[in-house]
Amino acid sequence: EKLIGLNNTLLKTFCFRKAYISFMFRSYDDAREYVSKFFDCHENAWASLMVTHISNALYTGLISFWVARKSRDAQCWFARGNESKLTFKRWAESSQWTFENKWYLLEAEESFSHNDYEAAKSFYKQAISSAKLHKFVHEEALAYELAAYFYLELGEMEQSMEYFLAAHERYHEWGAFGKCNSLFEFVKSSFSQTSSTVTTSLRHV
């Protein structure tokens, strides 16, 4: 870690990977800590390769909107999320295939954060449809999962369960078996009254 600390670009990469893993496994405190460190070192790091920059922009944006919903300094996090969203909106004008679903997902999370629930519902559906059309199975899974958390927050349990099941299926198709197991445990604990349905519908791998 001392060597990482001496190289700002390595530190940026390290913090992003830790933030990404924390986000995917829904560890809020760790995601916030590492994405904050990522932003702290972002300005002084070397320029990223395009493929890395795409990933960084997507997940730091998603984490920023997540943190904004729970944080007292929400405006700072909204600004960071909005920057990512506008970046993908601009990129989508050049390559709808690659960037459209990511832009829609960021729009959905921003709408959720602003309590604009009808807009969020529409954007989640568009993000799912676009990811499916453009063959991004892992991002289709992510869109289903984030939509499921959204509906769970609204208390719309049936819709939430439907989306969690779809997310689990897509993650399994993608080969993300650790994520499947994590989702299985979360859903089983969150839908205790329908645990028998969960255990038969989801695969613990």
Indicate whether 45 pLDDT > 60.
no
Q: How confident is the model at residue 197 (pLDDT cuts 50, 70, 90)?
A: low
pLDDT score recorded for residue 199:
56
pLDDT score recorded for residue 11:
85
Instruction: Report pLDDT digits (tens) over 163-173.
Output: 999 999 999 99
Indicate whether 60 pLDDT > 90.
yes
Residue, of 52 and 171, whose pLDDT is higher: 171
Residue, of 14 and 164, whose pLDDT is higher: 164
Query: Are the C-beta atoms of 41 and 11 separated by less than 8 Å?
Result: yes
The owner of tokens 């395009």 is 50
Q: What is the pTM (predicted TM-score) of this model? A: 0.89
Indicate whether 193 pLDDT > 70.
no
Share of the chain above pLDDT 90, in %: 75
Phi, then psi, of 75 in degrees rounded to 5: -60, -40
Mean pLDDT for all residues in the chain: 89
Average pLDDT estimate for 101-126 = 98
Average pLDDT estimate for 45-64 = 78
